[in-house]
Structure 1
Amino acid sequence: MANIYTPDQKHAKRQAIMQAAVELFAHQSYPEITMQQIAEVVGCSKGTTFRYFATKEDLFMSILLEDYRDYFERLLTGLTPTTRLTAADYVDWMTAQTKELIVHHSVLVRLNAIRGPILEGKANMAETVARRNALYAVSRQLGERLVTCTQQLLTRSQFSHLFIVQSAMISGLMNMASLASFNHATLAVSYPDFEIDLVPEAQQQTQFYLTQYLKEFSQK
């Protein structure tokens, strides 16, 4: 008799597969990771992983979009309708979130860098668009919340757009911060002029960009 899983059991298995992929991606490059490796971490067959995700690209695209959605939802929860932020408070908040993304969500930033050139090549378009729409909906809610919290410092669209700019800056700096390593291995060379202290430099760039942006586009 075929095994019958409840919806909760299926959800738990799907989450376990995604978590295993995240753990491997934290220490390996994307091309090195196989669905067999992921299955071994989960303790299931490779066929099981393919029942939940048709391709490796589908798996990692799901991680990227669903985890980013969850991240935005946590930000939305943290900003209540009664929260009040000045322009300086908003810049400080976004600067703090830059560190949060690098320190606690680096997998998302790395995946974002390979989304277009690698993941979209074999990911299911319909499923990707559906998850992207869900992410966009939460982003719009977060933008609306920031309009309220800042007393209309910027428009909802501007606030939502600035999260994309923030992610792009972090991804670029993270990519260039690894020139003294190759495929997760530290090289026996030094490039002091190329060194990037990722967290403080990303925060500095975020703060500078937002400060200048607000000077030019603030509605107040």
Structure 2
Amino acid sequence: MVTKAPAAPGSRRRAVSVDMKAQRRREILAAALRLLERQPYEMITMSAVAVAAGVAKGTTYLYFPTREALFLSLLAEHYENWFDALDAYRAPSPPAADAWTVWAARELAARPLFLRLVAVLHAVLETNVPVDEVLAFKRRLAERVARSGGALERTLDLPAGCGTRLLLWLQAIVPGLAQMAAPPAPLHAALRSDPALAGFLIDFAPELQALLATVVRGMQGAVGSST
């Protein structure tokens, strides 16, 4: 049996139909995701993505004008998956807030690539993407935040508008906690060896759960104090 040699990058048939172009776009995104699983975002180039996807470097630019645009599209997919999980959550018997904070912290901890992309959203990804594409991304995000925020208010018995606010706060808080929980190995070892600095070594999920519980209780308390 003769084994067919893999096609060299750039030798694949050009995508001409709508379906073929959509498939090629998915392949490029999947290649970028595989690279992100193995190395920091800063080390990934469009050339590396092209090689991983089995296409010419120029082909990647037919679908994404910049590296940041590519990873912004990838982040958009991760956001959709997160909101789908959030919308599918069903609280058990009361206290619903306690159960939700535990679930949310564990669910986000199980999405490390999502956390890494969110961490570079504002300072990196949005800085080298056409403004109209950034605005389109933010409009989709705003729609999901409003929809999921409303459902969250019913689940946790929060005042109107607090669900949306809570989700926006999550977007700001979660990346910082995730980065703090995963310092470089040499720094981690140094922190462990100094009792005065041990407080900087945190466990992401429990810390996030404690923070969320405090915020949700505060929002629920605001309802009681205003009635």
Change over 3 Å in CA distance of 1:64–1:164 after alignment to 2: same
Query: Which deviates more from structure 2 when the two are superposed, residues 66-75 or residues 110-119?
Result: 66-75
Q: Quick one: percent identity of the two aligned structures?
A: 27
Task: Report deviation, 1:52.
Answer: 0.7
Higher RCO (Cα < 8 Å, 6 or more apart): 1
Q: CA deviation at 1:84?
A: 6.8
2:10 alignment partner in structure 1 = none
Please give the per-residue CA displacement for 1:56-80, whole angstroms capped at 9, x wherever unaligned. Answer: 011111222332133213432x15x
* 8 Å Cα contact 2:68/2:125 also seen in 1: yes
Aligned partner of 2:37 among 20, 26, 49: 26
- Alpha-carbon separation, structure 1, partners of 2:17 and 2:99: 45
Tell me which amino acid in the other structure corresponds to 1:191.
L
2:168 counterpart (164, 171, 182): 164
Give the Å deviation of 1:37: 1.0
Q: 1:5 & 1:145 partners in 2: Cα distance?
A: 42
Instruction: Give the structure 2 partner of residue 153 of structure 1.
Output: 158
- Note if 1:56 corresponds to 2:60: no
Query: With structure 1 as the length reference, what TM-score do the two structures score?
Result: 0.81
- Change in 2 beyond 3 A, CA 1:4/1:20: closer
**Larger of the two Rg values belongs to structure:** 2
| Contact 2:15–2:21 under 8 Å retained in 1 | no
Which amino acid is 1:99 matched to? Answer: R
1:122 aligns with 2:128: yes
SS in 2 for 1:154: coil
**Structure 2 runs not aligned, ≥5 long:** 1-12, 193-197
**Is the 1:91–1:211 Cα contact (8 Å) retained in structure 2?**
no
The answer to whether the 8 A contact 2:149-2:167 is kept is no
Q: Whole-Å Cα distance in 1 between the matches of residues 209 and 112 of structure 2?
A: 15
Q: Is the 8 A contact 2:31 2:52 kept in 1?
A: yes
* Structure 1, unaligned runs of 5 or more: none
User: Is the counterpart of residue 73 in structure 1 residue 84 in structure 2?
Assistant: yes
The corresponding residue for 1:102 is: 109
Question: How far did 1:10 drift?
Answer: 1.8
- Is the contact between residue 139 and residue 160 of structure 1 (CA under 8 Å) also seen in structure 2? yes
Deviation at 1:3, TM superposition (A): 3.7
- What is the total number of aligned residue pairs between the two structures? 207
Tell me what 1:89 maps to. Answer: 96
Cα root mean square deviation, aligned: 2.5
| 1:112 Cα offset (Å) | 1.6
Alpha-carbon distance between aligned partners in 1 of 2:186 and 2:96, rounded to the nearest angstrom: 41
Residue 190 of structure 1: SS of its match in structure 2? helix
Over residues 175-215 of structure 1, what are the superposed CA-to-partner deviations in whole Å (9 max), with x where a residue is unaligned?
11233x1xxxx328331212111222222222222222321
